[in-house]
Structure 1
């Protein structure tokens, strides 16, 4: 049985936004390279696709399942269970690669650790809440299609 912890949930969200903010405000938001601009656009496109598929009324920054949570397994969720987290990592990777300092790489790695911890915690609660979630886990990737 998974014990929900508001301190853990809010701590993970705080860590996520602290890393995001530090990366965003430590360099330009628009990369100078067309390749990195394409990477940024891909991350933003994945985020928009996930939002349109999920619908805003199902969105929460907290890893805790909302009341009357429903399994979404269409759109990008057909392949990966956490496209919003993937999009954050893609967008911030474009920013870090644009100005690749040791500090920004450390922040990106910290963001990766926070998001993997957050999605693992979230999945434990979703398995306990949604009857078909375990089967969904078996047919989809966590974060990166065909890798993990």
Structure 2
């Protein structure tokens, strides 16, 4: 089975599981925000996977080897687990918010959230195109060089920046304001991941220390 098709099928299975969780939490299938969210996420991930399979198959393989079990360092296993649980909890809580009508999110705001999700997915793909070593795990590979062009000129971790953009859009796309508060533990986990990752990169990736002196911001320009 070709890499792109295998990645696409894996994404579809994940989205089906996510859809079941969202609709069970919402207590109804009459939840247009969730349908739009799933459609945009499915379209974005499948198109990205197929594109990368043609243009950067090795990079796509690196992205597929992710999750807590793929991490080689115990601290990252805990961080990734916390981030995943936090993200799933945020989505489920957003659907519960919709169920009990705690938030009143206008359609226009939900669509802004959809745009943020699409933008985040597109930015993630661009990062992989610009840095084929942008793996899903914290590691340094043989022959790896510091990426300094493209989005890496503005922040040291554009992949994580793209993830933040997408995650901000998720609760809004699902029609929840309260879900935004659950972003806090997710972002904290991301901060710990970045700090630990930079320690490793500084020690093992030639030129990374000099790169951090040129690019000051890790995640958000002029903020951090």
Q: Shorter-chain TM-score category?
A: 0.7 to 0.9
User: In structure 2, do the counterparts of structure 1 residues 67 and 22 end up closer, same or farther at CA, with 3 Å as the change threshold?
Assistant: farther
The 2-side partners of 1:132 and 1:62 are apart by 20
Q: How big is the shift at 1:22?
A: 2.5
Q: How big is the shift at 1:96?
A: 2.2
The 1-side partners of 2:107 and 2:169 are apart by 10
TM-score (norm 1): 0.80
For 1:103-142, list aligned pairs within 5 A.
104-140=179-215, 141-142=217-218
TM-score (norm 2): 0.55
Match of 1:14 among 54, 60, 81: 81
Q: How big is the shift at 1:122?
A: 0.3
| Residue 145 of structure 1: aligned partner | 221
The 2-side partners of 1:65 and 1:32 are apart by 44
The 2-side partners of 1:17 and 1:87 are apart by 16
Match of 1:78 among 139, 153, 156: 153
Q: Secondary structure at the match of 1:69?
A: coil
Which protein has the larger Cα radius of gyration, Structure 1 or Structure 2? Answer: 2
Relative contact order higher in (CA < 8 Å, ≥ 6 apart)? 1
The 1-side partners of 2:140 and 2:83 are apart by 18
Structure 2: which 5+ residue stretches go unaligned? 1-71, 96-105
Q: How big is the shift at 1:94?
A: 0.9
* More helix as a share of residues: 2
The 1-side partners of 2:141 and 2:89 are apart by 28
The number of aligned residues is 138
| Residue 89 of structure 1: aligned partner | 164
| Residue 42 of structure 2: aligned partner | none
Q: Secondary structure at the match of 1:64?
A: coil
The 2-side partners of 1:45 and 1:25 are apart by 24
| Residue 137 of structure 2: aligned partner | 62
Q: How big is the shift at 1:32?
A: 4.3
Q: How big is the shift at 1:27?
A: 4.1
